């Protein structure tokens, strides 16, 4: 009988090892593994090749089991070897010390841009342990000089996962770093960052632009490069400040319903504490505390709108720039469609969280790991949001603005042409029959008017209509409502814009002028997030927008040599300044459709 011939050893080891290696490499690539992750995979594969000689002569099922174990170890290692969250840091020569109420601070000088940056300055005590959910306490004094070269951790929020990292590899997404985050998180995050020109001002103390990050009050960071203040500080005689504030359940829990003393809105109280810190300390950096413009995008813009309505912000805010995020709406129950929870609903959410934590007392909840709190709070996520609390908001911002009781300051407000286009990432229902059925159920007697504005004759039209309706309802109409209300009941000028430029990022054209697309143009940070091939039109637009934002910060009037004509809402309520392929004064966007939503909002408020 002829003896069975075995395949060469290198084949018997190399083929299964190659399969395990390729599978591990795919997972590592999807996981954005750093260099040490790849090195670890290589080491495991090398050890596996050596160890495989011990099972080559074993029965087939032993060999198969061994290679399955090897493959599992390789894939598991690739899965676990994702990037370790870190904090953003700065490098460069140190500045001279600056004295603050808590102690001296040394920043980092960018000799090329001639800008000084001071990163990660605590503006309040860490809200941990017994201070969790309490209003921000003053930052402790320091005995030594703070080297402000590390932005510090972001506020507690969901950190990137394997699935989110894989999505950025497989899908074309804009603003990946800004939308997905990636910095280390901690409750000890109440820090702010300052940028100023290195050379002293020749015209006196500089006005301040305080930027509030977005993220739906559950995510975001003042450290993201897209919000970096160096470009504005270098181009204009202003100081730029960004900051972190508490988010999610840590920033919006009405703990007075479960034995505490805070009716929620801790994240907004953080913003107010940062503004008070600016009042007390910015003069040492060469700033003018009587000229503070608060700016923000998305939830940051909503925050600025709330600060414009809050009596606690009186004297702290002297101008507001709002980008794609308003604050006018009803109070009641967010699960029922209201913009805000009222006090009873906010209190009920706090009691439900306590029940989800086994009926723990507030003291026990303050001692729990933050991760346990966040996990238990996930099912109540709609309620971790600003609420009408009788303190920051004694009533709804709508009522405050309608009665003319807002902080009457100049406003620069606007939104983008394709705010909800990112919905395409997860898919948009394109079935015409389903669309018409949903419209009639939701809009009743107004359904025919809705379908006239947003027809759905075929799948492509349905998708287009869903996206346009989402943009008009969620952003264009709320920003116009804010502008009109402030112009009608206040005396300060209101300027409005509309951003329509489609960033030239390959593969992202379908998203149009998406939510957040204007940020890097307005703050001089094109290229800080993503790899779009920006051209002359983009650089011209960046110059025009930064000049307008700087002019507003300097004089509360955005008109400047690059944009000379820009009527106020009081002067011409039916026009806006469009920042697009060209910059021009034009009719406000989608007037009939936007008015439809304003009418619906007015009826809902009644």
Confidence at 11, pLDDT banded by 50, 70, 90? low
Percentage of the chain surpassing pLDDT 90?
84
Return the minimum-mean-pLDDT range out of 44-58, 170-184, 351-365: 170-184
Residue-wise pLDDT tens digits, 391-442: 999 999 999 999 999 999 999 999 999 999 999 998 999 999 999 999 999 9
pLDDT of 1 over the 60 cut? no
* 447 CB neighbour count, 10 Å cutoff: 15
Is the Cα torsion angle 552, 549, 588, 407 positive or negative in sign? Answer: negative
Give kind and range of the element (H or E) at residue 521. helix 519-522
Confidence at 6, pLDDT banded by 50, 70, 90? low
List beta partners, residue 138.
124
Q: What is the mean pLDDT of residues 281-303?
A: 98
Residue-wise pLDDT tens digits, 308-333: 999 999 999 999 999 999 999 999 99
What's the CA gap between 428 and 467, in Å, rounded? 8
Confidence at 176, pLDDT banded by 50, 70, 90? confident
pLDDT of 163 over the 90 cut? no
pLDDT of 2 over the 60 cut? no
What's the CA gap between 540 and 545, in Å, rounded? 9
Q: What is the mean pLDDT of residues 220-225?
A: 96
**Which residue in this structure is represented by tokens 């809705």?**
450
pLDDT of 375 over the 70 cut? yes
What's the CA gap between 326 and 478, in Å, rounded? 6
Please spell the DSSP secondary structure of 59-103, one letter per residue: -HHHHHHHHHHHHHHHHHHHHH-PPPPB--B--SEEPPPEEETTE
Mean pLDDT over each residue of the chain, to the nearest integer: 94
Angle at 552 between CA 327 and CA 111, to 5 degrees: 115
**Which domains does the chain possess?**
9-80 (no CATH), 93-409 (3.40.50.1820), 413-605 (3.40.50.1820)
Confidence at 4, pLDDT banded by 50, 70, 90? low
SS (H, E, C) 226-248: HHCCHHHHHHCCCEEEEECCCCH
Q: Are 92 and 147 in contact (CB under 8 A)?
A: no
Q: Are 575 and 586 in contact (CB under 8 A)?
A: yes
CA torsion 166→170→176→181, rounded to 10°?
A: -10
Residue-wise pLDDT tens digits, 534-591: 999 999 999 999 999 999 999 999 999 999 899 999 999 999 999 999 999 999 999 9
Q: What is the pLDDT of residue 394?
A: 96
Please spell the DSSP secondary structure of 6-17, one letter per residue: PPPHHHHHHHHH
Token pair recorded at residue 50:
């050596």
Q: Are 272 and 251 in contact (CB under 8 A)?
A: no
pLDDT of 217 over the 50 cut? yes
Q: What is the pLDDT of residue 17?
A: 87
Residue-wise pLDDT tens digits, 184-204: 999 999 999 999 999 999 899
Q: What is the pLDDT of residue 404?
A: 96
Q: What is the pLDDT of residue 29?
A: 92
Return the minimum-mean-pLDDT range out of 61-70, 191-200, 294-303, 410-419: 61-70
Element counts in the chain: helices (H) and strands (E): 20, 17
Is the Cα torsion angle 170, 171, 176, 180 positive or negative in sign? Answer: negative
What's the CA gap between 522 and 543, in Å, rounded? 8
Nearest CA to 307 out of 340, 269, 254 is that of 269
Return the minimum-mean-pLDDT range out of 143-157, 166-180, 517-531: 166-180
Residue-wise pLDDT tens digits, 510-548: 999 999 999 999 999 999 988 889 999 999 999 999 999
């Amino acid at each position: 009988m002829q003896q069975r011939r075995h395949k060469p050893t290198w084949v018997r080891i190399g083929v299964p090892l190659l399969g395990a290696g390729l599978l591990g490499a795919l997972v590592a690539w999807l996981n954005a593994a750093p260099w040490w992750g790849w090195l670890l995979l290589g080491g495991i594969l090398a050890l596996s090749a050596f160890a495989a000689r011990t099972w080559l002569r074993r029965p087939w099922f032993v060999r198969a089991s061994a290679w399955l174990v090897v493959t599992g170890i390789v894939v598991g290692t690739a899965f676990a070897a994702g990037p370790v969250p870190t904090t953003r840091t700065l490098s460069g020569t140190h500045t001279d010390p600056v004295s603050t109420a808590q102690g001296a601070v040394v920043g980092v000088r960018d000799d090329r841009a001639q800008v000084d940056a001071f990163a990660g300055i605590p503006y309040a005590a860490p809200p941990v342990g017994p201070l969790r959910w309490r209003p921000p306490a003053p930052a402790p004094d320091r005995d030594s000089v703070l080297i402000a070269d590390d932005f510090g951790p972001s506020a507690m929020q969901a950190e990137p996962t394997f699935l989110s990292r894989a999505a950025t590899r497989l899908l074309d997404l804009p603003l990946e770093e800004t939308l997905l985050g990636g910095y280390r998180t901690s409750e000890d995050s109440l820090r702010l960052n300052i940028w100023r020109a290195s050379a002293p001002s020749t015209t006196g103390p500089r006005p301040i632009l305080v930027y509030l990050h977005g993220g739906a009050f559950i995510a975001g960071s003042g450290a993201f490069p897209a919000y970096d203040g160096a470009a504005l500080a270098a181009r204009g005689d202003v100081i730029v400040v960004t900051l972190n504030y508490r988010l999610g359940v840590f920033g919006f829990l009405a703990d007075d319903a479960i034995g505490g003393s805070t009716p929620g809105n801790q994240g907004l109280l953080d913003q107010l504490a940062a503004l008070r810190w600016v009042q007390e300390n910015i003069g040492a950096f060469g700033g003018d505390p009587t000229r503070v413009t608060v700016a923000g995008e998305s939830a940051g813009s909503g925050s600025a709108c709330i600060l414009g309505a809050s009596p606690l912000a009186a004297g702290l805010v002297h101008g507001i720039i709002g980008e794609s995020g308003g604050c006018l709406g009803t109070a009641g129950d967010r699960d029922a469609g209201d913009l805000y929870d009222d006090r009873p609903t906010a209190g009920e959410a706090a009691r439900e969280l306590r029940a989800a934590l086994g009926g723990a007392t507030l003291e026990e909840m303050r001692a729990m790991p933050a991760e346990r709190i966040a996990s238990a709070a996930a099912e109540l996520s709609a309620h971790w949001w600003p609420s009408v609390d009788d303190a920051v908001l004694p009533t709804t911002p709508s009522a405050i603005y309608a009665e003319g009781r807002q902080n009457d300051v100049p406003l620069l407000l606007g939104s983008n042409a394709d705010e909800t286009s990112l919905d395409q990432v997860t898919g948009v229902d394109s079935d015409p029959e389903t669309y018409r059925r949903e419209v009639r159920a939701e809009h009743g007697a107004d359904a025919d008017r809705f379908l006239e504005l947003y027809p759905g004759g075929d799948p492509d039209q349905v998708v287009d209509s869903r996206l346009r309706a989402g943009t008009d309802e969620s952003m264009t109409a709320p920003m116009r409502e804010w502008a009109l209300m402030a112009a009608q009941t206040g005396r300060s000028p209101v300027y409005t814009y509309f951003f329509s430029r489609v960033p030239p990022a390959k593969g992202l054209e379908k998203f149009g002028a998406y939510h957040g697309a204007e940020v890097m143009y307005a703050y001089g940070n094109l290229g800080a997030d993503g790899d779009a091939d920006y051209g002359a039109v983009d650089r011209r637009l960046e110059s025009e927008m930064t000049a307008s934002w700087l002019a507003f910060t300097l004089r509360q009037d955005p008109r400047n040599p690059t944009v000379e004509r820009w009527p106020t809402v009081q002067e011409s309520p039916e026009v806006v300044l469009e920042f697009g392929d060209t910059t021009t004064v034009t009719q406000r966007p989608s007037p009939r459709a936007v008015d439809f939503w304003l009418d619906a909002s007015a009826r809902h408020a009644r």
